[in-house]
């Protein structure tokens, strides 16, 4: 009696592994998108601070306030 190996269980295992990796990838992509959105928000805020600083440079500026703006920009 010859032995017959069926590939169906192997296919099922591979499909399950692939699904797990797809879920993991989707989760990581969502995290990455969240970080990208946060980066855009921070860059926008930085540009706003720079614009405020440029306006304030037209007036006398205390050392403490100057330091605050330089720290905020960094």
Give 3-state DSSP helix, strand, coil % of the chain, rounded to 5: 80, 0, 20
Crossing angle, helix 63-73 and helix 8-56, to 10 degrees? 160
The tens digit of pLDDT for each residue in 4-20 reads: 668 888 888 999 999 99
Q: What digits encode the pLDDT tens for the residues 25-44?
A: 999 999 999 999 999 999 99
Q: What is the pTM of this model?
A: 0.62
Any residues with CB less than 8 A from the CB of 1 and at least 6 apart, and which? none
């Amino acid at each position: 009696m010859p032995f017959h190996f069926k590939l169906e269980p192997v296919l099922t295992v591979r499909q399950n592994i692939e699904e797990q990796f797809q879920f993991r990838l989707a989760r990581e992509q969502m995290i990455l998108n969240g970080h990208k959105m946060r980066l855009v928000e921070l860059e926008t805020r930085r540009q706003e601070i720079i614009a405020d600083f440029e306006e304030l440079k037209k007036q006398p500026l205390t050392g403490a306030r100057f330091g605050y703006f330089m720290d905020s920009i960094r």
